[in-house]
């Protein structure tokens, strides 16, 4: 009867078959560690290598080696079962999907921010132009008004010369008001109108592009999620649990709670 062959698992990959002697060499070289799972025909389930007698020089401290029993080889999830030895490429694919998804998500959110800031910038230019115009004319009228107040302060009646100056200052105030209204009308029909059109156009363009940024965001989130799934269900140890925890956060934030959408630009302005 031929010697039973052993299989061992490392980083989600099923390796083997190897002979018992070869498996002992792998344990001595540190390739197979006590926590790695091993199996041979006749065993009911995979078991840590440290629990198999004869694999390590130091006797195992946890229990005895499992008693072989008749049965078929237990199923263990491995990318190698999906078409050959794909565990290595599968890990690289998961990493590539996670990196791609993260970059796309950040790019989509960055485009949202840039679009919103562009709309705010044009609106601020429009408001700033009007405010600057009002400040300039208010300064001119204030200077004339101060001169008129100084001339008439504490005087129940004015001398003819002072009255003439007061009338001139009042007329100048009226002229300034008329000039301001004329200038406002010209700007409203000219430069201010151009700024208003540019502001409205940017607002509508930003809302239109928000659809494609949302598509980009969802695509990146899906790619990142698939990468986490591959890592979570093909890795072992801390990597697996970290990936599964991140997967739960992503699924809730994006697809359940929708908190990842908060702060995005509205699709209609």
Encoding tokens for residue 208?
């239109």
pLDDT of residue 98: 85
pLDDT of residue 267: 44
Residue with tokens 């359940």: 256
Cβ atoms 90, 230 nearer than 8 A? yes
In order of 114, 130, 142, 177, the CA distances from 135 in angstroms are 30, 9, 10, 13
Give the dihedral of Cα atoms 25, 29, 31, 37; nearest 10 deg: 50
Using CA atoms, how far apart are residues 125 and 199, in angstroms rounded to an integer?
9
Pairing of strands 37-40, 6-10: antiparallel
pLDDT of residue 111: 92
Which residue ranges of the chain lie beneath pLDDT 70?
1, 57-90, 235-237, 255-269
| DSSP H or E segment with residue 54 | none
pLDDT of residue 221: 86
Domain 6-76 has CATH 3.30.1490: yes
Provide the residue ranges of all domains of the chain, joining segments of one domain with +.
6-76, 88-261
pLDDT of residue 76: 46
Cβ atoms 17, 6 nearer than 8 A? yes
Could you tell me which residues come within 8 angstroms of residue 57 by beta carbon, excluding any fewer than 6 positions away?
A: 28
Give the pTM.
0.54
Using CA atoms, how far apart are residues 188 and 201, in angstroms rounded to an integer?
17
């Amino acid at each position: 009867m031929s010697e039973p062959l052993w299989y061992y698992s490392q980083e989600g990959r099923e390796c083997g078959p190897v002979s018992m002697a070869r498996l002992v060499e792998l344990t001595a070289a540190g390739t197979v560690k006590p926590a790695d799972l091993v199996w041979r025909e006749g065993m009911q389930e995979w078991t840590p290598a440290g629990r198999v007698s004869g694999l390590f020089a130091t006797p195992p401290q946890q229990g005895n080696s499992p008693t072989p029993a008749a049965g078929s080889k237990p199923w263990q999830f491995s990318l190698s079962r999906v078409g050959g030895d794909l565990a290595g490429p599968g890990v690289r694919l998961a990493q590539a999907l996670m990196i791609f998804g993260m970059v796309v998500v950040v790019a989509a959110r960055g485009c949202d921010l840039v679009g919103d800031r562009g709309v705010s910038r044009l609106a601020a230019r429009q408001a700033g132009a009007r405010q600057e115009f009002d400040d300039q004319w208010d300064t001119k009228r204030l200077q004339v008004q101060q001169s008129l107040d100084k001339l008439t302060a504490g005087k129940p009646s004015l001398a003819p010369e002072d009255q003439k100056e007061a009338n001139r200052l009042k007329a100048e105030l009226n002229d300034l008001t008329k000039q301001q209204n004329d200038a406002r009308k010209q700007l409203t029909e000219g430069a201010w109108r151009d700024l208003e059109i540019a502001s409205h156009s940017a607002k509508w363009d930003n809302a239109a592009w928000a659809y494609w940024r949302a598509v980009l965001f969802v695509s990146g989130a899906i790619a990142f999620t698939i990468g986490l799934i591959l890592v979570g269900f093909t890795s072992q140890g801390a990597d697996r649990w970290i990936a599964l925890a991140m997967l739960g956060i992503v699924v809730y934030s994006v697809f359940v709670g929708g908190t990842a959408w908060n702060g995005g630009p509205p699709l209609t302005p």
